[in-house]
Structure 1
Amino acid sequence: MRLDGFGIFVNDMAKMIRFYRDVLGFEIKEDENTSNVYLKKDGTLFLLYGRKDFEKMTNQKYGYAEGKNGHFELALYVDTFDEVDRAFADVISKGAEPVMEPTTEPWGQRTCYIADPEGNIIEIGSFGKPFDTKDNE
Structure 2
Amino acid sequence: MDFVSIRIITDDVARLVAFYERATGVRADWATEDFAELRTAHGTLAIGATRTVALFATGSARPADNRTVIIEFLVDDVDAAYRNLADAVPDFVTEPTTMPWGNRSLLFRDPDGNLVNFFTPVTPAAIAKFTY
Shift of 1:30: 2.8
Alignment partners' CA distance in 2, 1:85 and 1:12: 29
SS, match of residue 46 in structure 1: strand
SS at match of 1:90: helix
Corresponding residue for residue 60 of structure 1: 58
Q: TM-score by structure 2 length?
A: 0.79
- 2:68 match: secondary structure: strand
How many residues get paired?
A: 127
1:13-70 per-position Cα deviation (integer Å, ceiling 9, x unaligned): 1110110112332211439x71011342123132111112222x13422353647x42
**Secondary structure in 2 aligned to 1:93?**
coil
Classify 1:86/1:96 alpha carbon distance in 2 versus 1 (closer, same or farther; 3 Å): farther
Secondary structure in 1 matching 2:71: strand
Partner of 1:124: 118
Correspondence for 1:18:
18
Indicate yes or no: 2:86 matched with 1:92.
yes
Judged with a 3 Å threshold, the aligned counterparts in structure 2 of structure 1 residues 6 and 65 are, in CA distance, closer, same or farther, namely: closer
Structure 1: stretches of 5+ with no match in the other structure: none
Structure 1 residue ranges (4+ consecutive) displaced by more than 4 angstroms after TM superposition: none
